[in-house]
Structure 1
């Protein structure tokens, strides 16, 4: 985001955090914000109107009132007026910010019910499952198929097997990818979750599944190195043979056997 949008996002966030702190129904808030993003995305005229930098903020806040009062909850309207009432560098920055608030509201509900870690793990694993299955990936990305049909496919795979919040976000990712690939949508959702929870995420690849104790020790060790809290997502890949590979932020720590063998081969060939 450019300067004006960064300032607008910071200012509008006060309205969002305020309604959460006041006890808003988080699930309903998320549903309404996702729906509003869909409405804005579907109307070029509305996109221009809400993001027009030449219009006064108060005028755009009144526009939110006229368009959505009585159609969304009072809490959602507060968030919308708070977002519309600022200057954005682009239309996409405004809708991206509203979408991130919707995702955060879902994560906030998971936090309240003590399953935020579970939701992050399940979203990560589902993204990996889709990435490894070409037929499933094509089915979820098929924009010629009705969005509800794609959402129903997600439900058939996940309903009763994952947390409610995981299902909400997975369905949303296929119903409204907003021009992004499914994997990138889920990555954005996970980034929002990490940001809300003020933690970093590490992807750890190993030849065999890690135990809960292994994950806890890795998380503690990485937190000692990088500071703060580190959430560990795991990937099993027999090709690494042994050891682990850790990706955190832009850094890669590769302690796998296969890397050491590759290094030995390069040395012998030098």
Structure 2
């Protein structure tokens, strides 16, 4: 988000934090997702409620008329705050509401001591999708109705994952909003990690890492980056010796394959 939207996001998040504590967090997440999806579909509504030339109180009143009695008071208050704010572009409005839906789902998981599970389950689901072209086609097919995708996820995952994980996956699959499934999983995984104020490191290794190795690697990364780091370990037999680590745009590559590629690049240059 650009500068104006970033400052508005902070204001809306503050209002959200003030009303979310007394709410049913799972319900609040679903409601914010639903409103974000409505604004994503209804371009005219989104433009009118994000129009900076319209008085904030007028937009808030319009939001109350639309949503009061249909969603919880916490959701209404959050939407009012979002439409009162100024955004760099109209599309930031649904983006912010979806983001706060993810935050509500994370708070639900945290209240159940399952936020770590959500991080791990989103990552593992990404690996499952990567390994199954049939599953990927089913979940991303525009011809398969949203209800069918929701039912497929429930059948596959059911009580095998945290409720918040299933809630986030349903949102991603039924309302991709222009994202690929992979980028959506990465985006939501980053937001989940952000709630813990941790970085996410994707580690590729030829063999599984022992718990001792994971702890030592996490401690080294924490010392290097000055923040806690959550490890998502991906076993990849194509890795020859060592391991590679990706944190955001930064890559630390100690693999033999990586060193060979580096030599090739230097020779080509």
Instruction: Verify same fold: TM over 0.5.
Output: yes
In structure 2, do the counterparts of structure 1 residues 89 and 208 end up closer, same or farther at CA, with 3 Å as the change threshold?
same
1:235 matched to 2:234: yes
CA drift of 1:209 comes to: 1.4
Deviations 1:83-110 (A, max 9, x none): 1111112221011000000001101111
TM-score (norm 1): 0.93
In structure 2, do the counterparts of structure 1 residues 265 and 43 end up closer, same or farther at CA, with 3 Å as the change threshold?
closer
Aligned partners of 1:33 and 1:155: how far apart in 2? 21
Aligned partners of 1:59 and 1:238: how far apart in 2? 59
Deviations 1:132-185 (A, max 9, x none): 322221111101110111122222221122111111111111111111111111
Structure 2 counterpart of 1:75: 74
Aligned partners of 2:198 and 2:33: how far apart in 1? 24
Unaligned runs of 5+ in 1: none
- Where do 1:1-270 residues align within 5 Å? 1-20=1-20, 22-260=21-259
Secondary structure, aligned partner of 2:88: coil
What RMSD in Å do the two structures reach over aligned CA positions? 2.0
* Between 252-261 and 68-77, the greater mean CA deviation after superposition: 252-261
Aligned partners of 1:95 and 1:224: how far apart in 2? 37
CA drift of 1:261 comes to: 5.0
Deviations 1:16-47 (A, max 9, x none): 11123x33211111011011112222222211
CA drift of 1:265 comes to: 7.7
Aligned partners of 2:230 and 2:244: how far apart in 1? 15
Unaligned runs of 5+ in 2: none
Aligned length: 269
Aligned partners of 1:95 and 1:26: how far apart in 2? 19
CA drift of 1:64 comes to: 1.1
Aligned partners of 1:188 and 1:67: how far apart in 2? 29
Aligned partners of 2:215 and 2:63: how far apart in 1? 46
CA drift of 1:14 comes to: 1.1
In structure 2, do the counterparts of structure 1 residues 36 and 265 end up closer, same or farther at CA, with 3 Å as the change threshold?
closer
CA drift of 1:128 comes to: 2.0
Secondary structure, aligned partner of 1:160: helix
TM-score (norm 2): 0.93
Aligned partners of 1:269 and 1:119: how far apart in 2? 43
